[in-house]
Each structure stands twice: as structure tokens, then as C-alpha cells.
């Protein structure tokens, strides 16, 4: 288990007691020896403890949960408690914290691209419990791909105020894997130096956002590298949707590499789910109570099914959230019997705000990406441009950057157009373009939709404007 930061003396005994109990439950969970009764007892005790913690120590939750009968709330029925929303976090800021900032171990904040940046500090309990799930995922993934040896890991994170670098540094250190921070978007690194280091250091694992898998390949070709001779064997991706179709396409671009999910999470909610070698994400069960709700009405659909993911944290850290609406559309299903990791499977479909009306359909981001990339080989990037058709309805133009010689562009274009016409009923054409709009390289730094969809039917919203402002940071040639 990842080493905990040192707590103040007055809190050390309570912290140690909690971490001892957590390690026992976590180990039993990952060993598949945790009984249903033991899990139910853990969830019930942790829920009551967290509710007491936030109502005693958080000014926001003291008001927000006023009048709630905390002792009567059960893990199976959280509906008597109000939701916590992103607007709540932006309005309340530090009042959401369950304790003064001085009790935290480290400070992070959201990127603030679609609203005010909100504080996301982490304390010792938060760090250990969140990192434990990542460590277990990596241990099993590395064993499957590298046996008893540890690979060199390249970290490609978004910014210093994100937990990315610290989390994966700690996990790599705990596993005994050498890591190197190679951030191509940094002006002091850039893609050219990043590629040199990957080659010289023999970097076999790269941790990054999905879009960076393609941007890195595009940069490698620009600087004269042979992708088949670079040492990369495993991309661990996070930060945006990664459909099976996207992962399969990356493997046709990088001849010796496969794509697996590293984790699904956020600055606010920490590590929600971790990746397995079958390409699926599994909920970090000891840390959360998950609800699937209708994104329009807020009605609870259960702890499985398709809808907006809502989380209640079970760790009484510096910023536990109660019934937090993530804004993410997910599909939660029981794990397959032969799954490499325990816990329900979480398929991330996209952001609620990223649903796209096209022709006669309202598409989730995952559905649109699957239709574009299904069976496609050698795609270095794509953008979907939507406009009004001259005769009414919608006209869709898909711009695709295809690796020369990887596939017949006409055959690929006809197949993509056919799938999208069947899905939307719109007029569709496909254009092969090696110079895509630079905004496509921003990935999920702002939003998947802002990076991948150019909607000319209306003016740009704030997310699109922000993505365009930061697009220069992702240029492959500087």
C-alpha cells in the first residue's frame, strides 16, 4: 500500500487505525475474499462516519444537510439527502472542505476551463485510499505485459496543479518502477524532446490522455521517427472517453503498443475506477457508494444501469462529497466472471453536457466516436464538422488524418459515411486532411466535444472558446 504522508501527532493514532482497517478491507476486496456481510458493514459504518464528519467540520455541509437524520441514512437509500453539484463547489469553494487547509497534505484545484477553478486538496487518508486502487491495477497490468520485471514509465500530465504527476509518481515508486515526467505540452519539454527521451530511456509505458496517443504518433512522424522502432508497448490512458474503437485504431498506428484504461476519476472525486487488462474500468468499491440517476429528473435508477454517475465518498478526508453529481454519463454493470479486477464495470459514455443532436439522433460522445472509428486503421486524428444542409436538416463533414499506406482512404471514407448516415439520417461526407484543426489535440483538457466537434449551427460556447485559446500548447512542432 502507498505510504501515507505524516499526520499531525493529535490525529496520527486515529489515522493509523483507519488505514489499518482500510488495508484489511481493501486487501480482502482485491483478493475476492471480502464477504457481502463484511462489505455491507464497512459501507454502513463508513457512511455514518463520513456524514458525521462533514456535518461537524464542513460549513457547506452543515447547512446543506441540516435536518437530515444521519443515523437513519443507509447505503441502500441515500435519496433523503440532497445532491451536491458542481455549482455548489464553485459557489462554496473552501467552505466545502471538512477542516482547514492546513490539515491537508497537498493542494490541487480543477483546471477552471468551464467555470471557476475549485480547491481540491488531499489529506493523508485521501491519498492512500485513492492510490491503493491505482497501485493494484498497475501491479496486475504490468504483470500481464512484462512478467516479473518493471518497465520504464513515461508520465505525460496536464499541469502541476493536477494530482496526475504525484499520484503516478507515488504508485510507480511503490511498485519499484522507474518513471520519467515527459510533458510534451510543456514549453520546456515539447514533443521533440519527449520523443528523444522515449527512445533513449527505453520508455515502454506511457500514461496520458487518449488524444495524446495520436498526437505523439503525429509528432514522431513529423520528426522522422519510425513508430515500429520506438519502445512503447503500453498506453495507459485517462482523462476522457476511450472507446474500444479508439483503442483498436491506436494499435494500428503504434505497431507494438496496446491501449488500456489507467483510471477514471476527477480532481474533485479522486480515483473512481481503475483499469484492467481486458480494457474495462472497475469501480473502487471500498471508497464509494455509486448511484446511477436520470440526468434530467434526478430520479435514482439504481446502482447499475445507464445514466449520470453520482458518488458518495466513504473516506472521511479533507473534502468528502455527498451524492456528488459528476456530470458523467456512464453504464454500470456487474463484472464478468473472468475479470482481472473485482468491482462493477464502469463504461464512461461522455459528459451529460456533451450530448450532440445530429440529424434525427441525440448521440453520446462514445456513440459518435465508435461510429467514426469502427474498423478504421491508421487514423491520426479526426474532427466532426456539423452545419445546416442546404435542403434542410444537418450536414456532417468528418475530417480524418490517415496514416499514408494504412488503408484505402476511399473505402474508409465510404464506410464512415455509411455508418453515420444510418445512425443520424443526415447528409455525410468524409474528407482526408493531414492538417486538422489544432483544437483536436486538446482532447479532454476542456471537453471531448470542444476538441472533436465543430458545430457551425450555432456560435461557439465558452468551452469551445477556451479550447481554442489553449490549442497552441498542444502543437506538435513547438
pLDDT for the residue 478:
47
* 59-104 pLDDT per residue, tens: 999 999 998 999 999 999 999 999 999 999 999 999 999 999 999 9
The CATH number given to whatever domain includes residue 437 is: 3.30.300.30
User: What is the percentage of the chain residues whose pLDDT exceeds 90?
Assistant: 71
Same domain, 47 and 138: yes
Q: Note the pLDDT of residue 12.
A: 79
At 40, which CATH number? 3.40.50.12780
**Is the sign of the CA dihedral 349, 351, 352, 358 positive or negative?**
negative
Same domain? 337 vs 375: no
Same domain, 266 and 404: no
Range of the domain at 117: 1-351
**pTM, 2 dp:** 0.90
Q: Distance between CA atoms of 44 and 81, rounded to whole angstroms?
A: 15
Q: Are residues 289 and 196 in the same domain?
A: yes
Query: Does 35 lie in the same domain as 150?
Result: yes
Number of domains within the chain: 2
Average pLDDT over residues 427-451: 78
Residue 193 burial (CB count, 10 A): 13
Q: Which of 351, 379, 403 is the last residue of a domain?
A: 351
Handedness of CA 14, 16, 19, 20 (dihedral sign): negative
- Residue that is last in its domain, among 307, 336, 351: 351
Express each pLDDT in 97-138 by its tens digit: 999 999 999 999 887 666 678 999 999 999 999 999 999 999
User: Final residue of a domain: which of 351, 380, 411?
Assistant: 351
Cell numbers 513515461 correspond to 154
Q: What is the pLDDT of residues 265-298, one digit of tens each?
A: 989 999 999 999 999 999 999 999 999 999 999 9
User: Is 4 within 8 Å of 15 (Cβ atoms)?
Assistant: yes
| Contact (CB, 8 A) for 318 and 78 | no
CA 126 to chain centre: 18
Q: What pLDDT does 58 receive?
A: 98
**Domain identity same for 320 and 447:** no
Query: Residue 450 and residue 447: Cα distance in Å, rounded?
Result: 5
- With the C-alpha atoms ordered 422, 428, 429, 434, is the resulting torsion angle positive or negative? negative
Amino acid at each position: 500500500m502507498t505510504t501515507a504522508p505524516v499526520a499531525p501527532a493529535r490525529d496520527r493514532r486515529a489515522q493509523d487505525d483507519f488505514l489499518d482497517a482500510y488495508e484489511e478491507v481493501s486487501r480482502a476486496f482485491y483478493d475476492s475474499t471480502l464477504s457481502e456481510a463484511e462489505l455491507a458493514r464497512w459501507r454502513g459504518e463508513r457512511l455514518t462516519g463520513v456524514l458525521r464528519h462533514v456535518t461537524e467540520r464542513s460549513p457547506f455541509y452543515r447547512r446543506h444537510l441540516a435536518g437530515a437524520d444521519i443515523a437513519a441514512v443507509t447505503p441502500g437509500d441515500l435519496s433523503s439527502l440532497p445532491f451536491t453539484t458542481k455549482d455548489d463547489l464553485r459557489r462554496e469553494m473552501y467552505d466545502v472542505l471538512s477542516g482547514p487547509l492546513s490539515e491537508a497534505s497537498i493542494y490541487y484545484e480543477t483546471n477552471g476551463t468551464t467555470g471557476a477553478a475549485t480547491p481540491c486538496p488531499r489529506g493523508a487518508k485521501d491519498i492512500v485510499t485513492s492510490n491503493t486502487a491505482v497501485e493494484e491495477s498497475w501491479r496486475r497490468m504490468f504483470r500481464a505485459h512484462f512478467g516479473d520485471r518493471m518497465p520504464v514509465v513515461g508520465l505525460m500530465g496536464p499541469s502541476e496543479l493536477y494530482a496526475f504527476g504525484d499520484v503516478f509518481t507515488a504508485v510507480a515508486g511503490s511498485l519499484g518502477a522507474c518513471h520519467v515526467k515527459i510533458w510534451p505540452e510543456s514549453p520546456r519539454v515539447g514533443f521533440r524532446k519527449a520523443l528523444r527521451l522515449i527512445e533513449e530511456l527505453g520508455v515502454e509505458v506511457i500514461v496520458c490522455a487518449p488524444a495524446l496517443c495520436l498526437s505523439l504518433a503525429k509528432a514522431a512522424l513529423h520528426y522522422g521517427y519510425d513508430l515500429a522502432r520506438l519502445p512503447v508497448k503500453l498506453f495507459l490512458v485517462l482523462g476522457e472517453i476511450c472507446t474500444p474503437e479508439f483503442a483498436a485504431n491506436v494499435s494500428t498506428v503504434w505497431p507494438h503498443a496496446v491501449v488500456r484504461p489507467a483510471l477514471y476519476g476527477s480532481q474533485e472525486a479522486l480515483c473512481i475506477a481503475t483499469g484492467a487488462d481486458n480494457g474495462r474500468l472497475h469501480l473502487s468499491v471500498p471508497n464509494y457508494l455509486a448511484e446511477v440517476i436520470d440526468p434530467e429528473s434526478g430520479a435514482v435508477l439504481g446502482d447499475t444501469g445507464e445514466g449520470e454517475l453520482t458518488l458518495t465518498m466513504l473516506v472521511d478526508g479533507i473534502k468528502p462529497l455527498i451524492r456528488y453529481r459528476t456530470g458523467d454519463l456512464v453504464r454500470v454493470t456487474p463484472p464478468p466472471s473472468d475479470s482481472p479486477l473485482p468491482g462493477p464495470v464502469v463504461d464512461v459514455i461522455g459528459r451529460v453536457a456533451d450530448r450532440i443532436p445530429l440529424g434525427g439522433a441525440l448521440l453520446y460522445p462514445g456513440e459518435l466516436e465508435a461510429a467514426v472509428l469502427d474498423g478504421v486503421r491508421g487514423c491520426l486524428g479526426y474532427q466532426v464538422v456539423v452545419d445546416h444542409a442546404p435542403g434542410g436538416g444537418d450536414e456532417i463533414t468528418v475530417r480524418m488524418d490517415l496514416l499514408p499506406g494504412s488503408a484505402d482512404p476511399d473505402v474508409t471514407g465510404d464506410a464512415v459515411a455509411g455508418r453515420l448516415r444510418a445512425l443520424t439520417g443526415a447528409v455525410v461526407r468524409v474528407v482526408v486532411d493531414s492538417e486538422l484543426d489544432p483544437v483536436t489535440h486538446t482532447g479532454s483538457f476542456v471537453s471531448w466535444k470542444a476538441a472533436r466537434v465543430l458545430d457551425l449551427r450555432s456560435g461557439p460556447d465558452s468551452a469551445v472558446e477556451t479550447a481554442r485559446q489553449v490549442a497552441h500548447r498542444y502543437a506538435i512542432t513547438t
